[in-house]
């Protein structure tokens, strides 16, 4: 087993899955594009399902590394949430394949095998720090779970918007505006 080859298989498969979906991407095509045999593919990943989930885990680990850099304890709630906002969106824009894969995986039946799992635990802390910042004063503070869904959805929408409209002149300005829109909603008058 060779870690570089493993990553190579994961990346090749991710691109093909993004292009054709999980069920329309036969293992034979993945092997062909990765220039290995089907047998080798199944040496590295015992089942197609495990391959699909291994990609998810890899992408999650990769994205988490980027996000954690941007959390600072001493900053204000506004600044912390804003820098998180920018970091998450920029990661998606810089890694569109990974971003697309996360969206596809999350809206597929495979995600169910991941509910209440380790990978989500580290994100949990991330989420808790968002809630600590927002919940006490925000509109909707009775529904913290909804607040998280709401932020998550807006983050995804903003990222998708940039990826699908690459003609946007000033991406940073858009990101700031999208943050203001959501932040503005939170602050009680």
Q: Of DNA, its own copies, none, which one sits near residue 108, judging by CB under 5 to 8 A according to partner kind? A: its own copies
Binding segment for its own copies among 19-27, 31-39, 91-99, 121-129 (CB under 8 A)? 19-27
Q: Alpha-carbon distance 155 to 152, whole Å?
A: 5
Of residues 169, 170, 132, 166, the one with CA closest to residue 148:
132
Helix (H, G, I), strand (E, B) or coil at 137: coil
Using CB under 8 A, which of 1, 2, 35, 109 touches its own copies?
109
Q: What is the C-alpha separation between 152 and 3, in angstroms, rounded? A: 32
Q: Which does 158 bind (CB under 5 to 8 A by kind): DNA, its own copies, none?
A: its own copies
Residue 137 as a binder of its own copies (CB under 8 A): the answer is no
Residue 88 CB partners (closer than 8 Å, separation 6+):
67, 155, 159
Q: Which residues bind its own copies (CB under 8 A)?
A: 20-24, 103-104, 107-109, 138-140, 142-143, 145-146, 149-150, 152-154, 156-158, 160-161, 165, 174, 177-178, 180-187, 189
């Amino acid at each position: 087993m060779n870690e570089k080859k493993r990553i190579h298989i994961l990346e090749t498969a991710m691109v093909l899955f993004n292009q054709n979906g999980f069920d329309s991407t036969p293992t034979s095509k993945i092997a062909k594009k990765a220039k290995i045999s089907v047998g080798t593919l199944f040496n590295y990943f015992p089942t197609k399902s495990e391959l699909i989930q291994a990609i998810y885990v890899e992408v999650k680990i990769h994205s988490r590394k980027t996000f954690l850099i941007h959390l600072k304890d001493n900053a204000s709630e506004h600044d912390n949430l804003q820098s998180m906002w920018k970091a998450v969106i920029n990661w998606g824009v810089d890694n569109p394949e990974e971003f697309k894969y996360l969206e596809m995986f999350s809206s597929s039946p495979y995600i169910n095998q991941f509910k209440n799992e380790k990978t989500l635990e580290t994100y949990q802390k991330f989420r808790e720090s968002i809630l600590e910042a927002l919940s006490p004063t925000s509109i909707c503070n009775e529904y913290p779970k909804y607040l998280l869904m709401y932020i998550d959805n807006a983050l995804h929408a903003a990222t998708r918007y940039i990826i699908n409209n690459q003609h946007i002149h000033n991406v940073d300005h858009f990101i700031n505006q999208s943050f203001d829109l959501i932040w503005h909603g939170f602050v009680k008058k």
